[in-house]
Amino acid sequence: MGTGMIGSSLTGMNAAKFGLQTTQHNIANAETPGFTRQQTVQGSNAGLLTGAGFLGQGTHVATIERIYSRFLTDQVNRSQGSASELASYSEQIAQIDRMLADPSAGLSPALQDFFKGVQQVAANPSQLPSRQAMVASAQALSARYQSLGGQLAQMYDGVDTQVAASVASINTFAEQIASLNQRIGVAEAATGQPANDLQDIRDRLILDLNKLVKTKTTINGDGSYNVFIGSGQQLVVGSEFNPLTTTASASDRTRLVVGTKTATGVQEVPERLITGGSLGGLLAFRRESLDRASNDLGRSAASLALTFNAQSALGQDLLGQSQLSASPSSFSPALFNVAPPTVLANASNPAGSPTVSAAYVDPPPYSGNFYTDLGSSDYRLSADATSVTLTRLSDNKTWTGADLAAVNVALAADPQGFTLLASAGALAGSSYLIQPTRNAALNLAVNSAVVNDPRLITAAGPVRTLPGASNTGAAAISAGTVGPGYPAAVPVAATPITLRYQDGKLLGFPAGAQVSINGGTAAAVPATGLDYVSGNNITLVGSVATVPPSGFSFAITGLPNNGDTFSISRNAGGTADGRNVLALGQLQAQKTMSGKTTSYQDAYAQLVSDIGSKTRQIQISNDAQQALLEQAQANRDSLSAVNLDEEAANLLRYQQAYQASAKALQIGASLFETILQIGA
């Protein structure tokens, strides 16, 4: 009996010792990130058969296991992936929000100062200092556009740098996970027991990996993990890992994207498939917000330049130059220079593919000024053997035709603010990315000719009107305005044009002249003259391509007498005339953008509002996701984390168990000694 008692006591002491050691291991790792508390699992030794039944032979420690829930761990990993994505997105978009909404460094004050400079010229069109002030304000405005565009360009570079760093870290974690898979497999195969601490390290690496990119894990039969990202791209399979890489996008060589290495090269992983983690947040930010901000800012810059230049072209400078000049080709009215839309050929285009370029459409006239149809989206041009298709990437709307000319015809019916042109070569099989406004703000500049000579600002109207000096009636003629094509309406050879009132008719129009009354359809002036109606807006039509027809518009009001005349001529010596610069100033409040729906200021305010709303949305989502992560971590910790109070109780429990077994051992030894003494 004594020997059996001694053996059982020894097994109890061993079990208590293992319990003490495991408890101390838990206490020592209470602050170790990712540590899962462990416990001993005891089993009863097989009993010894006696005449009185099976006599117990003590206990043994079957294994040491982690207090672990895969469900709770996966919940933490998912929450961590989403939290890291939103935190990364929030950090990036907050920079744009602060930059655009800055009351002093944003675009709004520069726009206001520029139009103040325009108003100074309108007040003093003949004064050189006011013109110099306008040029200075234009330079300040272009510098502000360039500064904002440059900061956005730097953010693209920053995103690329962080993407490359994230991919390098992902590869490091993936390699370590693959190595741990192998080490855990070897250790568990050799002992038949779980490698708890190695499994903790592997779980911690997977959690860290989810901080970078959302992953999905599966367990193989040997206990190793497979790790997938995106739509199922293999990152780790058992003890092997497939590294990611970064590469220039085939559609945009300036854009760094994530790829996987294959036997034939690098295969791009579509951006939308990479979600979660800081990498997913960076890519989503670039795709959703940085591209939008860059395109919108560029749309503002391009629209300002195009509409301002279009109105400037209708004026006359201080040197008397206009489109009516003897050498109109030397006339340089543009105040701003803006780069054309960017067209990027896909790197996989077949050899011999044509070069495709894009050009801005001349702004159509509207309500005395001009507007553009430019949007905020990029476009993709692709072609197969039968057709050419232009796709707007923001909503996948398409324009299709048999060739590029047919696509341009479709664009004329549904204008997007640009047209396309291709050099010689077959388009079939080719693809091009079109960025109409992406770089417009960065490249906006003031015309150097105007900077060097502010007299070239076209403040005056090129055509003037005068009532006859000998008129006896009470009629007056307006100063008149010009529109696109006006040189054909008032050709220099036909000026001055002298209109004469006679018996309710206006006579003296140039031979073959067409007129539009109050914006109606253009029609030839009847041989008997034009019916006179006081206040009618009469347009001598130079171009029927615009709606309404444009040229030179004027109105005669009041009651003329027979023989009264009204002359239309070049505005020679019109140095104090500010009609055109007044029209330039009116652009500030006109609906010049988005197809006659918004002004420069309103469009920028909408961009600031949209970015601000998106920033707040992401921040709120980030705060909510952080709370969910904390909750998931608390749920996991309630099961798996070390509780020092509980471990202290376990120390006492195992200590007492050890002491009890030791006491039983002492009693067994004493009994055995008594038996030996009796036998002696």
Could you tell me the pTM of the whole model? Answer: 0.89
| 673: pLDDT strictly greater than 70 | yes
| 1: pLDDT strictly greater than 60 | no
Over range 405-422, report the average pLDDT. Answer: 94
Residue 289 and residue 94 in contact, taking contact as beta carbons nearer than 8 Å: no
Over range 300-304, report the average pLDDT. Answer: 96
Q: Where are the alpha helices (DSSP H) in 321-480?
A: 404-413, 440-443, 448-452
Q: Mean pLDDT for the chain? A: 92
Residue 328: the pLDDT is: 66
Strands 523-524 and 514-517: antiparallel
* DSSP three-state, residue 595: coil
Confidence band for 66, pLDDT divided at 50, 70 and 90:
very high
A 10 A CB-CB count for 114 gives: 23
A 10 A CB-CB count for 398 gives: 14
> Can you read off the two tokens belonging to residue 269?
């992983």
Longest CA pairwise span in the chain (Å): 162
> Among 147-156, 282-291, 510-519, 560-569, which stretch is predicted with the lowest mean pLDDT?
510-519
| 379: pLDDT strictly greater than 50 | yes
* Domain ranges across the chain: 2-67+642-679, 75-339+439-462+593-641, 464-570
% residues pLDDT > 90 (the chain): 77
Confidence band for 159, pLDDT divided at 50, 70 and 90:
very high
| 481: pLDDT strictly greater than 60 | yes
73-97 residue pLDDT tens: 999 999 999 999 999 999 999 999 9
Residue 286 and residue 156 in contact, taking contact as beta carbons nearer than 8 Å: yes
Residue 2: the pLDDT is: 44
* Sign of the alpha-carbon dihedral angle for 292, 297, 301, 306: positive
Residue 135: the pLDDT is: 96
CA torsion 146→152→154→157, rounded to 10°? -140
Residue 25: the pLDDT is: 95
Residue 227: the pLDDT is: 95
262-297 residue pLDDT tens: 777 888 899 989 999 999 999 999 999 999 999 999
With residue 639 as reference, give the H or E element that holds it: helix 600-640
| 35: pLDDT strictly greater than 60 | yes
Residue 46: the pLDDT is: 86
Asked, as a colleague might, if the bond just before 365 is cis with ω within 30 of 0, I would say: no
A 10 A CB-CB count for 67 gives: 13
